[in-house]
Each structure stands twice: as structure tokens, then as C-alpha cells.
Structure 1
Amino acid sequence: MPTAMERFEQRIDKSAGPDGCWPWTGGTFRAGYGRFYDKGKHHVAHRWLLGELRGQHLNWPEERGCHKCDNPPCCNPAHLYIGDAKANQADAMERSGYDWTRTHCPAGHEYSPENTLIGSKGKRCRQCMRDQNAGYRRAKGIKPRGFKAHCLRGHAMVEGNLYVHPKTGNRQCRECKNLRMSRWAKKKRAEARENRQA
């Protein structure tokens, strides 16, 4: 019976040579990263490989499997490194060719901290996004949304149970938010237990 590493290597195309990208030929996640099944669990292929080469699984989310080649399915160890989210984003920004010195969007809105959404492809203006969304709703004949008195689960959106996001101003039900956070924490604890047992 083949080992996990042998099964992994069967799904890599190494035809580009030692310096080229080795694309994953098996199934992929939506973002294009390889999907590898091992020990009853689906793994991101390049992240699994980095963990195997190091002898210890990557500690997500502190440790990320990063590409030097910006090619999501690539599994060439020479193109991979372990980094944190900040280093990964800074690396992607550096290679994007975007002019990060811009102070205003094309429509003239200032790129202030409250009005800026930053991604690997550049800065995005929140005001332009809001205007675009409002224009779409007007074109479709959709009435402007007012403040909801209750959340989808029926909790009253009153002062004690209302969370307003400091940057976006989005209103959320605090009870539902706490429930989501407790579910997330429970899931992370279960994953940590699985990793310790593995």
C-alpha cells in the first residue's frame, strides 16, 4: 500500500523541471489550491506538504503555507515557504505592481483608514462600493434598507443587544454574534484536540 507522500507525489506534475511550478493535478478547493485527503481529513495540498517536510503540521492560522510564485496549485517545495498572514499579504502586495502611494481613489475619495479596504490587488474605496451598491439597488427598483428592529432569529436589536462594527458601521445582533463566536471556539478546540492526538 502506498504511503501518503507517494500518493501525494502521484498527483503532482513535475514536467516543468526543478525550477518550474509543479501544479496539483487532483481535486482543488474553490481558490485553486490542491485538495489532499489524508488520515480522514481534507488538507490544502501545499500546506500539508510543508508540514510533512518539517515533520509537524502547520499551526493554522498563525502559520501559513505561502507561494513565492503566486500560483495556487503549485506544490514545488522550492516555491513554498512558511509565513504568517501579514508576511503573506505583504509579499502578494509587493508582487502585484499596484501603486500603494495613492492617497485618493479615481472618484476623488480619500483613502482614509475608515474608507479603505486593502487586499492583495490594491486599495478599494468603501464609499465607491456603497455608491455602486446603491446604484444597483436603484436600477433594480429595490427599496433602501432601513434599520431592522429584530435579527433573523427574532432577537430584539436594542441597545444592550446591538453591536455596531467600529469601521463599517454594520449593525449585528450581539446574542447571535456571541453564539457564532462560541461555535467557532468550540470547533477550534476540537481541531486542537485532533491535532494533539494525530
Structure 2
Amino acid sequence: MDAAELARFHAKVVRGPGPGDCWIWTGAIGDDGYGRFWTPTPDGGQRMIRAHRYALATVHGGLDALDELHVCHVCDNPICVRAEDGPASHLYAGTAFDNMADRAARGHHNQQPAAAFFRHETKQERAHKARVLRDHVRVHGYDPEAVATLLRGVTAGQQRLF
């Protein structure tokens, strides 16, 4: 991770103004609903890394520090890249077991009713919702009320994004 690569990454992040707000990835979003970031490879090619993984790597000393680890979201927002050293971070590194335990604790396991949370949507539906949020932030900036509406479905008839 060099300075130019870090600057390119951070140019695609819009930070919410509040102390607990998500930092929204405004770059590419894959078919699974997670942000995508490309880094150069030694052979002159490119390698895709999930944006939240890259974000946490910037805090933990590089991508090698996260080998064998999963990157988990505290906020349940797949395009959040708020990685910090301390309790304000929305991302943390954990084992596969940690990731599955966190998923179950949040009610995202397969025994939940179909109406619950994004885990019961197709990847395409989740990707569409992530793109709706990203596109809104790209056009309007980080408006906490609008982002909350999109994430939580706080208006009548609004479907919860995640």
C-alpha cells in the first residue's frame, strides 16, 4: 500500500459526519453487494480486493496481516468501510467461526423468517440495494437522514436496504 494507492482508495469513500456513521464506499460494487477495489500486481496486472477488507488492512499493517481472517461488519452495511483502531470501527478481523457466530447473533442465519434481513435476499437484490445507497451518496453526499432512511427503512413503505 503506497501513498497513491491509499489516496485512490480514500477518494472513493464518503465519511458520515456523525461519530457513529458509516463510511460509504462509492466505487465499484460487485454482484454480491460488496465494494470492490483493484490494486496492482507485481506482474503489471490487477487484483480485486473487497473494499472493506482493504480498509481494515490499512489499519492492521497491510493485507498480509489479514491472511486467514475474515472481515466482519458491526453495522451490517456491506459497503461500509469504516476501519479504525479502536471501538469506533465498524469493521473487525475474525476467524470463520467468529464471522458465523456474529452472523447468527444478528439473526442472519438460515432459520430466520424470509422477511428478515438481507441474508434472505438474493445476491442480486443485495447488490442492487448497495448500488442504490452508493448512487444516492455519490449524487447527494452523506445526508444522515436520507442514509438512515435507505439503511433502516424508517419511512412508511420504504423497504429496508440491509
Q: Give TM-score, length-normalised by structure 1.
A: 0.46
Aligned to 1:190: none
Tell me if the contact between 1:70 and 1:92 (Cα under 8 Å) persists in the aligned partners: no
Counterpart for residue 184 of structure 1? none
CA contact (8 A) 2:51 2:81 kept: yes
- Give secondary structure in 1 for the equivalent of 2:23: coil
The CA deviation string for residues 156-191 of structure 1, in whole angstroms up to 9 with x for no partner, is xxxxxxxxxxxxxxxxxxxxxxxxxxxxxxxxxxxx
Larger Rg: 1
Overall identity of the aligned pairs, in %: 38
Match for residue 32 of structure 1?
33
Amino acid of the structure 2 residue aligned with 1:45? A
Alpha-carbon RMSD: 2.0
Are the aligned partners of 1:45 and 1:75 in contact in 2 as well (CA < 8 Å)? yes
Match of 1:181 in 2: none
Cα distance in 2 for residues equivalent to 1:48 and 1:29: 15
Work out the CA distance in 2 between the residues paired with 1:29 and 1:16: 26
In 2, distance between residues paired with 1:18 and 1:11? 20
CA contact (8 A) 1:33 1:44 kept: yes
Counterpart check, 1:73 vs 2:84: no
C-alpha displacement of 1:43: 0.8
SS across alignment from 2:104: helix
Deviation, 1:85, is 1.2
Give 1:123 deviation, angstroms: 2.9
For 2:94 and 2:110, locate their aligned partners in 1 and report how far apart those are by CA, in whole Å. 21
Matches within 5 A, 1:27-66: 27-39=28-40, 40-57=46-63, 58-59=66-67, 62-66=68-72
Determine if contact 1:8/1:36 at 8 Å carries over to the other structure.
yes
**Paired residues of 2:69 and 2:94 also in contact (CA < 8 A):** yes
Q: Which runs of 4+ in 1 moved over 6 A?
A: none
Instruction: For residues 124-175 of structure 1, give each alpha carbon's deviation from its aligned partner in whole angstroms, at most 9, with x where no partner exists.
Output: 8xxxxxxxxxxxxxxxxxxxxxxxxxxxxxxxxxxxxxxxxxxxxxxxxxxx
The two structures have a TM-score, normalised by structure 2, of 0.56
Aligned to 2:9: 8
**Structure 2: 5+ residue stretches without partners:** 41-45, 84-88, 113-162
- Number of residue equivalences: 99
Unaligned runs of at least 5 residues, structure 1: 97-119, 125-198
SS at match of 1:13: strand
What is the letter of the counterpart of residue 106 of structure 2? R
The amino acid across from 1:94 in the alignment is A
CA contact (8 A) 2:69 2:95 kept: yes
* Counterpart Cα distance in 2 of 1:65 and 1:16: 24
SS at match of 1:91: helix
Aligned amino acid, residue 19 of structure 2: P
Q: Is the 8 A contact 2:70 2:96 kept in 1?
A: yes
- How far does residue 49 in structure 1 lie from its aligned partner after superposition? 1.6
Q: Which of 96, 109, 117 matches 1:121? A: 109
Q: Which amino acid aligns with 1:53?
A: V
